[in-house]
A and B are shown apart, each in its own frame.
Chain A
């Protein structure tokens, strides 16, 4: 099944203050070295201090503090074996384009971050996982890899074209030569990942921030953002009839500033297909912030902002996304393979007015936390957020109507 938001074959990358500064000079290694110089040698103490000083969080969606992950890898590495570094650029979420943007404009910042960490950790290898459904992004990273001559071995892999292929445990499976699907693990990959080694696995954007930090230092990094949340984040913005736009924004910036006038007034899906719906009023008041958005019941996630516009019915959009997510289940875990199609069906029935919210909730509680990966949990987050944030849209369908039609009429007049 095709994704309701297609995988991009083109995108618009806006220049930004930090990661995306100087992109007009192109992605080549000479241009990158002119801007930043060679990869500095850092030790694990300096690396830990840098990521702690700016409170760096993982950009793959969970916003987990990087320093804690690094600490877990260091502790295990000290006792056992040399660790492994993994750059996860698989970007299986169709509405996300930020790692694609980095692959096209800033591949060497990503790779510098991973190489600097690998040298600090005396890592055995760096694995780079390329996207399976974005050939132009994969080509960008391959070109960059071919230009480099690093003192550490870099191995590339290509993810399967599947939504859950980029999930951390699935990536470890891929690197180990098994099927690129999530499995049950009893230890986090930071303790026991690739080949049982402590594994520092992060998303491409996270590595770009590490790269920037080792090049410019914490003080320069902190020039952007707020004092509580320094730095910037990449946002992937999808709107009707436009190629995806990628913006680098400072923490604390207004979310609405990345949205075009054409989508003003309509609900927005924040955090992607595993994210949450927000009313326009919420979006209009929102600042880009991990804790700030959490306190409002939404999540920045991997920075995906999908604004289908006033003509789109959020219930219909959710039905299409849930159908797609059900088709992307790796079909290995019983509750996920049976429950997600049933959940999608129950939503179709709410859409056509023949079903109830209680059946949707019954199925949601049956699938949540009952799989090898967070795919069921993310799908449930999406579905529950629709009912929580946009109850009016649901009521309108129960009465045989649809608010999208009213909304586009009102905004047109």
Chain B
């Protein structure tokens, strides 16, 4: 079962800390909001978990 990173869009205020912590699967759009580019592979699990914890707006979630 592959996991996905999901963004709570009304909560997210951009600026892209998640992109810094997880550049492998998070790009930024031209306004600074995250673009999730792929699923969370096993080797990215720890980094994804820290991005979820680090988001200042608590706007990230890992979903099945």
**A residues in contact (CB < 8 Å) with B:** 181-184, 186, 330, 332-336, 338-339, 366, 370-372
Contact = CB atoms under 8 A, between A and B. Distances in A.
Given A186-B63, A366-B29, 13 more contacts: A183-B10, A184-B8, A332-B9, A332-B10, A334-B14, A334-B33, A335-B31, A338-B33, A339-B29, A366-B35, A371-B9, A372-B9, A372-B10
B17 to A, nearest CB: 14
A334 B31 contact: yes
A220 B32 CA distance: 57
Contacts of A333: 9-10, 12
Contacts of B35: 366, 370
A182 B31 CA distance: 21
A334 B30 contact: no
A186 B9 CA distance: 12
Contacts of B63: 186
Contacts of A183: 10
A334 B33 CA distance: 7
Given A184-B9, A335-B9, A336-B9, A366 B61 contact: no
B11 interface: yes
Interface residues of B, number: 16
A336 B61 CA distance: 20
B13 interface: yes
B10 A184 contact: yes
A186 B13 CA distance: 19
B46 to A, nearest CB: 22
A339 B31 contact: yes
A336 B7 CA distance: 13
Interface in B1-34: 7-14, 29-33
B11 A334 contact: no
B30 A366 contact: yes
A184 to B, nearest CB: 4
A335 B8 CA distance: 12
29 contacts: A182-B10, A183-B10, A184-B8, A186-B61, A186-B63, A330-B10, A332-B9, A332-B10, A333-B9, A334-B9, A334-B12, A334-B13, A334-B14, A334-B31, A335-B9, A335-B31, A335-B33, A336-B9, A338-B31, A339-B31, A366-B29, A366-B30, A366-B35, A370-B7, A370-B33, A370-B35, A371-B9, A372-B8, A372-B9
A123 to B, nearest CB: 29
Contacts of A336: 9
A315 B18 CA distance: 38
Nearest to B13: A334
Q: Which of B13, B30, B61: most chain A Cβ within 10 A?
A: B30
Interface in B30-58: 30-33, 35
Contacts of B9: 184, 332-336, 370-372
Contacts of B33: 334-335, 338, 370
A360 to B, nearest CB: 14
Nearest to B59: A184
Contacts of A334: 9, 12-14, 31-33
